[in-house]
């Protein structure tokens, strides 16, 4: 949650705006109050969409259909004005964080909470389907964790079942990690598709990882259609119900009403009235107090200074929260640890008959800390007894970094790579020369418990691990291409594509390599992961050799290869056909391309902070291979980092600044000076509305709001011995997996 800015409206319809909650795909989301004290979340349509007549008609229709949905476990639409100069939609404001952020901060839910979540989601889907709708995008960020039960939000892409145009085959709407097989295939979407998504959401809530992997969208969609889910870590008593939800045949999935059981969530909660783990309920109670006292500010006056975090060795992190963007349906993160699309009738001032008192609201929030201890059966699984005393956790001050969930000791990481996360496994390339006693060249660590799952020895293993098909870890071992199961470490592939060579990237079905034949000529090769045979091989020109290193990026059916010798080419993954190439327009080292919104972004030139000139270039993905410079850092200015992209923007450290560019207009959105003068050696990561800059141990990992450039926090290890060493990090599933020296950290990303 952030203060209003001067450009923000003060009122919308009968509502007075109080604060910014975040932004979604359709526009910005505000916290607002009516004259009677009702607190709502208002979604305001972006200006460019407001001028689209067809969009206005669609927006009006969606608002009308969404208002038909009622029930205990949905956050209803309470008002809308599709004809306003800037169309808006108001939903109840729910005091509770989205499920994804709750899991990121507090870890997977206990079994009793999972049961309540399952019943609540089933009850919500029953109400949604009864209104003639299919949600189509049920996912953790669209589930708010309120004290009286989960609330499903964002009917912005739900569609009426009787609209033939929107239920016809070929239309794919939703989020890849939570789509049903028929949705991923572009087939007709029915209420059974929401049941599949329910099963996926429950797996995530139980384990903290996606059931079909968290790689590129194409990999996730392939796994959803063809592969079984990864259910390791799901409580055994819940497996039958979740497996039934995740069956590939929609006709065999259970009905939501049968999952909700007789009496629904009310019967499950029984007399306890609580279902949330203690630390989560405590954070909501704290946030409730701040909401009660909140009023609309005249103007923003200051921003808090960042506060360094502390680290708990091998233990769980605190219950702190941070501000972040909500979904397009009206959810917003509001620290500490609460967000959403509305609790009704919350306001400052005296309590009246229609508005609960502060005492009652806080009592309700704190009461939610009790774990569910009784109630009805869920589906075919009996509710197992047991309760626990709610525990409290510290809340974070504004600007304070999150505590690490855990810290564990690992062998020194290879300078050639950074952590790779897939299916709940963290893969670390190890420097065998720096840690000969470790007996490993790659180590696999469980993302939840930080225990070592497996490791592979050998000084011949080199380069960055690459995950193909969401489950197979591909490694270069001397002249061999080896593949290992990401979770168990069993060998899946053993091939000899040529020597020397490098694994560049992989998708759901193939691995892409750069290979040198016996005669010395280099080529790009695609190896089928099922048949283990080359799918295609395309020769590279003399200037296309990897040189000091090569990198690649995948987007749909395109592979972009960048060599360390200044060669860039875009190829079709199906047959290797070349769409375009740019030769002699780049320099070493390996430029590490990023693809976002139909554009290739690539670093060009040295990233040495004291010599040479470096640039960030962009190329249209579909060609031609003509570059346009965006950012430049001259001699001594600090170099240019590899780029990162999220939410319609690309980010890069150029010289002494972190710069954001809009991926549609390619215009600069903002630039912020970096306090410590981070140079081109920095790692830039982006996701979920936040940008992260990681450099040395002393400088730490800095987090910035991707929309406003506001610095949110700085995480430091506190280990003076690693002050001059560089962080390497990866962002996955709402967490940062970061390595500094011989320590691996899991850090909440918010």
Domains of the chain listed by start with CATH number: 1-93 (3.30.200.20), 103-287 (1.10.510.10)
Instruction: For residue 552, name the pLDDT band (cuts at 50, 70, 90).
Output: very high
Position 398 pLDDT exceeds 90 = no
Distance, in Å, from the CA atom of 108 to the CA atom of 748, rounded to the nearest integer, reads: 13
Look up 137 and say whether it is catalytic.
yes
Position 631 pLDDT exceeds 90 = no
**726-735 b/e (C-beta count within 10 Å ≥ 16 → b):** bbbbbbbbbb
Query: What token pair was written down for 392?
Result: 């409290």
Which range of 73-87, 326-340, 630-644 scores highest in mean pLDDT? It is 73-87
Who has greater pLDDT, 91 or 548?
A: 91
Question: 100, 127, 137, 194: which is the annotated catalytic residue?
Answer: 137
In this prediction, residues 426-452 reach a mean pLDDT of 77
Position 16 pLDDT exceeds 60 = yes
* Structure confidence at residue 366 (pLDDT): 37
Instruction: For residue 118, name the pLDDT band (cuts at 50, 70, 90).
Output: very high
Ordered strands of the 480-485 beta sheet: 461-468, 472-477, 480-485, 491-495
* Structure confidence at residue 363 (pLDDT): 40
Lowest mean pLDDT among 188-192, 217-221, 376-380, 715-719: 376-380
* Structure confidence at residue 198 (pLDDT): 97
Who has greater pLDDT, 30 or 333?
A: 30
* Structure confidence at residue 318 (pLDDT): 32
Chain segment 165-212, per-residue pLDDT in tens: 333 334 445 678 899 999 988 888 899 999 999 999 999 999 998 999
Position 584 pLDDT exceeds 50 = yes
* Structure confidence at residue 249 (pLDDT): 95
For the chain, the maximum distance between any two Cα atoms, rounded to a whole number of angstroms, is: 86
Position 253 pLDDT exceeds 90 = yes
Whole-prediction pTM: 0.54
C-alpha closest to that of 203 among 189, 223, 217, 219:
223
What does each C-alpha distance from 623 to 218, 357, 560, 578, 720 come to in angstroms? Answer: 22, 62, 11, 10, 48
* Structure confidence at residue 338 (pLDDT): 33
Cβ distance 146 to 340 under 8 Å? yes
* Structure confidence at residue 433 (pLDDT): 63
CB under 8 Å to 434, separation ≥6 — which residues? Answer: 411, 412
Whether residue 360 is annotated as binding a ligand: the answer is no
CB under 8 Å to 276, separation ≥6 — which residues? Answer: 113, 145, 147, 284, 368, 369, 371
């Amino acid at each position: 949650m952030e203060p209003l800015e001067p450009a923000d409206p003060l009122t919308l319809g009968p509502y007075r705006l109080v604060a910014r909650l975040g932004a979604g795909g359709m526009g910005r989301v505000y916290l607002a109050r009516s004259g009677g004290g009702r607190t709502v979340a208002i979604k305001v349509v972006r200006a460019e969409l407001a001028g689209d007549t067809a969009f206005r008609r669609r927006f009006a229709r969606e608002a009308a259909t969404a208002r038909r949905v009622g029930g205990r476990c949905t956050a209803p639409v309470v008002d809308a004005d599709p004809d306003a100069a800037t169309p808006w939609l108001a939903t109840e404001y729910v005091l509770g964080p989205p499920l994804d952020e709750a899991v990121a901060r507090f870890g997977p839910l206990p079994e009793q909470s999972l049961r309540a979540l399952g019943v609540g989601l089933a009850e919500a889907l029953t109400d949604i389907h009864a209104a003639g709708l299919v949600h189509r995008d049920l996912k953790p960020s669209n589930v708010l964790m309120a004290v009286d039960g989960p609330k499903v939000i964002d009917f912005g892409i739900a569609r009426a079942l009787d609209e033939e145009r929107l239920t016809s085959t070929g239309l794919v709407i939703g989020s890849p990690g939570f789509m049903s097989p028929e949705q991923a295939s572009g087939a007709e979407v029915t209420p059974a598709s929401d049941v599949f998504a329910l099963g996926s959401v429950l797996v995530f809530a139980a384990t903290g990882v996606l059931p079909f992997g968290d790689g590129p969208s194409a990999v996730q969609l392939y796994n959803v259609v063809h592969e079984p889910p990864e259910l390791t870590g799901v409580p055994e008593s819940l497996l039958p119900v979740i497996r039934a939800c995740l069956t590939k045949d929609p006709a065999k999935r259970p009905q939501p009403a049968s999952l909700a059981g007789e009496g629904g969530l009310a019967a499950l909660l029984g007399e306890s009235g609580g279902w949330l783990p203690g630390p989560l309920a405590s954070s909501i109670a704290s946030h409730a107090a701040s909401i009660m006292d909140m009023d609309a500010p005249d103007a923003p006056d200051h921003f808090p200074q960042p506060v360094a975090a502390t680290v708990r060795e091998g233990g769980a992190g605190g219950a702190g929260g941070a501000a972040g963007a909500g979904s397009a349906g009206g959810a917003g993160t509001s620290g500490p640890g609460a967000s959403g699309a509305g609790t009704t009738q919350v306001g400052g001032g005296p309590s009246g008959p229609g508005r609960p008192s502060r005492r009652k609201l806080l009592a309700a929030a704190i009461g939610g800390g009790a774990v569910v201890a009784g109630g009805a059966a869920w589906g075919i699984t009996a509710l197992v007894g047991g309760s626990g005393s709610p525990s409290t956790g510290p809340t974070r001050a504004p600007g304070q970094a999150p505590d690490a969930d855990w810290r564990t000791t690992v062998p020194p990481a290879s300078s050639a790579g950074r952590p790779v996360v897939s299916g709940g496994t963290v893969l670390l390339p190890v420097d065998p020369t720096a840690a000969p006693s470790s007996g490993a060249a790659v180590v696999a660590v469980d993302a939840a418990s930080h225990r070592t799952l497996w490791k592979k020895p050998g000084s011949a293993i080199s380069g960055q691990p690459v995950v193909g098909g969401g489950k197979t870890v591909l490694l270069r071992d001397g002249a061999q291409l080896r593949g290992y199961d990401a979770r168990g470490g069993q060998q899946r592939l053993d091939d000899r594509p040529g020597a020397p060579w490098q694994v560049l990237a992989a998708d759901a079905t193939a691995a892409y390599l750069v290979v040198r034949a016996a005669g010395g000529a280099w080529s790009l090769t695609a190896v089928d992961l099922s048949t283990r045979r080359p799918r295609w091989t395309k020769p590279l020109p003399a200037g296309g050799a990897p040189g000091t290193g090569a990198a690649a990026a995948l987007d749909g059916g395109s592979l972009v290869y960048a060599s360390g010798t200044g060669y860039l080419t875009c190829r079709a993954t199906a047959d290797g056909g070349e769409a375009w190439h740019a030769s002699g327009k780049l320099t070493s080292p390996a430029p590490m391309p990023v693809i976002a919104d139909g554009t290739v972004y690539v670093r060009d030139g040295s990233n040495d902070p004291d010599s040479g000139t470096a640039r960030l270039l962009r190329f249209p993905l579909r060609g031609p291979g003509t570059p346009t410079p965006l950012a430049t850092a001259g001699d001594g200015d600090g170099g240019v980092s590899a780029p990162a992209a999220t939410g319609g923007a690309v980010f890069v450290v150029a010289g002494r600044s972190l710069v954001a560019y809009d991926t549609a207009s390619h215009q600069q959105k903002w630039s912020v000076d970096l306090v410590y003068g981070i140079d081109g050696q920095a790692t830039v990561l982006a996701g979920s509305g936040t940008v992260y800059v990681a450099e040395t141990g002393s400088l730490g990992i800095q987090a910035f709001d991707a929309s406003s450039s506001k610095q949110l926090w700085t995480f430091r290890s506190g280990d003076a011995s690693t002050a001059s060493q560089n962080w390497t990090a990866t962002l996955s599933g709402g967490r940062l997996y970061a390595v500094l020296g011989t320590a691996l950290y899991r850090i909440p990303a918010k």
